[in-house]
Amino acid sequence: MSAADRRDATSGVDTTGHEWDGIRELNNPLPKWWLYIFYASIAWAVVYWIVMPAWPLASTYTKGLLGYSQREAVLADRDEALAERAAHGAPLLKVTPEQISKDSGLLEFALANGKAAFGDNCAGCHGAGGGGARGFPNLQDDDWLHGGSIDEILRTIRVGVRSTSPETLGGVSMPAFGRDGSLKRDEIENVAAFVRTLSSLAPAPTADVAAGGRIFATRCASCHGAKGEGNREMGAPRLNDAIWLYGSDQKAIVETLATGRAGVMPAWESKLDEATLRSLAVYVRSLGGAQ
């Protein structure tokens, strides 16, 4: 094909000689600005490979002339943040948790620090505002399994409930009366109906409330109290109020009696510094359910 044949008559630009269905490809050169950027990118990549960590090896990677480590940089930033937070939190360690709430300056810092720590560590279970969910206690009400004073809240946060801490709270888990066969299905239904009456709820019409009350007296009252008043030392909840962790309907109570309950809260004493633990206690108490 001659040079004249390769030239496009309309644009006056040579073609590449390629043709598809009568359409010929023009041989337009790339813009110089695009080529310069392309060449600069290649040069930058080569320099980056040399000075920065880049190429994976069998068990490590090339370190680069600068020896930069993103992991070390992150750890350094973390240590700096922890040191700064520790400096700000130091005054919290010089007073009792109760005194923190009486000092406006300390209280302001503790609430801000506690809210941030709560969002990072506690909100996943208790909700962003502490409202709780099924199986996770509401921290805004006045019903506390292990005490609602600031010292009791701090103790709960510190050692957890049925956690790995040797000082953990919670004691013995609630038995699974149905699963272990110690109560029959109809007996469980009767106890559930009686438990509903403790908080003035209507019992299931087919249940024998009196029989359920007798079983409750022999099998449940030792933990929950004869009138369902609960026992903080054992972590046994009250059954005569309107606050229910797993639900107050007949089906939910039967499930609780049949399968048992053994909620776990981790111990935070080994995960958070003392100032943060105190800040959390102050913040939780401020949510509205303090005693």
234 annotated as a binding-site residue:
no
52 annotated as a binding-site residue:
no
18 annotated as a binding-site residue:
no
- Contact status, residue 73 vs residue 66, Cβ threshold 8 Å: no
- Contact status, residue 27 vs residue 14, Cβ threshold 8 Å: yes
Amino acid, single-letter form, for residue 226: A
Separation CA 203–CA 200 (nearest Å): 9
125 annotated as a binding-site residue:
yes
Q: For the chain, give the secondary structure using H, E and C.
A: CCHHHHECCCCCCEEEEEEECCEEEECCCCCHHHHHHHHHHHHHHHHHHHHCCCCECCCCECCCCCCCCHHHHHHHHHHHHHHHHHHHHHHHHHCCHHHHCCCHHHHHHHHHHHHHHHHHHCHHHHCCCCCCECCECCCCCCCCCCCCCHHHHHHHHHHCECCCCCCCECCCCCCCCCCCCCCCHHHHHHHHHHHHHHCCCCCCCCCCHHHHHHHHHHHCHHHHCCCCCCECCCCECCCCCCCCCCCCCHHHHHHHHHHCCCCCECCCCCCCCHHHHHHHHHHHHHCCCCC
220 annotated as a binding-site residue:
yes
223 annotated as a binding-site residue:
yes
Binding residues for heme c: 122, 125-126, 174, 220, 223-224, 265
Residue stretches of the annotated binding site: 122, 125-126, 174, 220, 223-224, 265
